[in-house]
Structure 1
Amino acid sequence: MKTANISRRTLLRLGAASLVTAGFPSIGRAANLSGTVRVWSFLSADGRSPREVVLRDIIKRFSAANPNVKVVVEAQPFQELEVKFVAASAQNRAPDVIWMRDTFLDLVQRRGALADLNGLLSEDFKTRALPDLYPVFVEKSVFDGKRTSLPLWPSPAQTIFYRKDALAEVGLKEPPKTWSDFVPVAGKLTKGERLGFGLPTNDNSVSAFINMLSGFGPSIFDAKTGQFDVIGAHAIEVGNVVRQLVDNGALSSTLLNAMGDDIQDQFASGRFAMVQAFAPRFQQYKQIAAAYKSEDLAVAPWPAFGSNPPAVLLGPYWTVGVASKSANPAAATAFVESLYSEEASMGWAKTAGLVPDRRSVLKAPYFSTPEAADIQSFMALLASPGVMTFPQRMPDITKVFPVMNTALQELIGTKESVEAILARAKSTLGW
């Protein structure tokens, strides 16, 4: 699959087409299923975050409909999920259901660890639910005709969260749309103990460097190899922008080991005016807001370079699959289907503030209310001209993000030349 660049017209057409499926009943299964379904997820069934609350409700509904099936969620560190799952599959101890990031799909499916959902999903689900999901996400999970997983929470994934009150201090309602304008504004937002911009630099599941690079558009990824030019003019320009952000005080050279959780907690305490953050955590950021009013939290795309539109990179995002060695594939698939019922989609939306997986539910009056304003903001990003995806077959995924994060740390914390840092990254990747 080539890197996708989705037009506003396409997404609006898809939204309109979704209304055709409106009114379908919930996806159901025969009640004669039994046994245990082990689920590996980064969420806990006992957790308190908005997404965990919704997951717990889904499990309750599924268990009520299938009283002979026991769902056991075995929470795992999200940084280790995919690699740990591949190892467990090779050792015949894999769970029945696995949550994965889209960037790892090729790696996991090449190891033969995923079942082909085409032969497992119910006809009811394939007829009613599958066409109701967002095609750009659904199609990416199909490798040579094999459906490896189903996408969860259609969103721009890693994007920019900002405080409207902080932007108002410099006379702006939102962050600038180009890096040339963004850099000086980020510097002005550094005030006292507050920094203008915060980036996770030690989170091996994402790369702020690649997110910034997406400001050049989908052509940054080679359609055949999935690689990007680590030492090319575009990468060098990104490196120079990072240095400019350090020089004007927007980025701190002391924050070289920040994980996503670190950025989240420090943002809540007022440490940053703007940060890179994971879109599905938007409500969580609001809940823990301490140094600012929750209603002042907003979301923006990544600034662009030159005349390109602001970038909205759809990934890494979560997908859910069934293990090829599942001991209970029928019940496992039934549980996976329950994650995509209309009730589940409304739960993800109302409780967790997420764009619903089922497009048909967007007809509900709720999505026209002020309470759904955040979802409307994310929908606007999904319909923007700068939308793009990671390549389906991204090489060396276990190395790409860590290597580029090391390069980012060196760009922020050292005076070594941008070219030397990127050359070392390229050599480490072996590209």
Structure 2
Amino acid sequence: ELTGADWKLERTGMSDDIPIRHWHQNDPGVVPNLLQTGAGSPTGITVYEGSLLPAMFRGQIIHCDAGPNVCRAYYTKKDGAGYQAEIANVLHGARDNWFRPSDVSVAPGGSLLVADWYDPGVGGHRAGDLDSGRIFLVAPPGHKYVAPEFDFSTPGGASEALKSPNFATRYMAWTALHEMGSEAESRLLEVFETPDNQHHRARALWLLGKMECRGEHYVRVAINDTNPDIRIVGVRLARQLKFDLITVVRKLARDPSPQVRRELAIALRHNKSPQAAELWAELALQHDGHDRWYLESLGIAADMQWDTFFAAWLIKAGDDWSTAAGRDIIWRSRSKYAPEYLARIINHPETPARSHPRYLRAFDFHSGPEKDDALRAILGL
């Protein structure tokens, strides 16, 4: 972050595990990786939002990796403010290691199309076969490839096309509906108010919120929705429309969903309002001491304003700053006030020696006399 040094350079508290070390997962200021997939040659990626494939693939990331000859789904579920994932292979070249998937997309009918450049090698410009290549259709047995037809000239036809799992179809639908403006509002409201598919609801909401003079109304509708993902869309819509984010954050600051609160924290990034620090501190007090995704969202939010945000949190935390959550925030902080507290944590007799490298590593992200004084305090000087 500060020096641009190679990941292999020895540093305090670095992991023995090479992928963790490579991606700096032990360092404050690094958002967790969703999944460690190992060495490979990653290529195409998409999100499957169709209904033709089995339920386990719906709403999931589909990713090609030409090195290990595989097209995978990353079965993702929410975990605190972030996610965790497992791998499920879609296509694997176990019997043909020339299988080199280079891209994947969702067809209009909901099947998957996987492009295979088909080659004995991978990496750089080492191509052994310049002529061969294949496209795989992934679908249930008996499926016939059909591209549905839509009438993009009417609100009804375009709103049906907006539900398509195919990106190009959705783009055409979105563009047509956006140009229609208020003429399409009633049909889009039908989509939004149909509760059985949250992806469809979110797509309709983005269009409703972009209608002239209707954005503020639909932001209010979204942030009051019962579904946390729709509330997140509401926060993001408010950011895009450059609305008063302080009002939105204050409304949702005690939201039961850590994912919504993560989004609120990110919305506060570089916000110069006098209320921003107090709201950030309120969000920070809800960190549970275990959720690294939530912690990093707080760090992203406090960028360039660490001193005022950290000071506001200290006032709210009072004598309870030395909880697991409080020590996390201090470890992540870039405030000039943080080194003093890092030293107090390290010098505390109940702090396990095995955690000392973690807190000492945090000093590498500070500079100035406050850091020097704190290091001298650790040494008893």
TM-score band, normalised by shorter chain: under 0.3
Which of the two has higher C-alpha Rg? 2
Question: Structure 2-normalised TM-score?
Answer: 0.23
Question: Structure 1-normalised TM-score?
Answer: 0.21
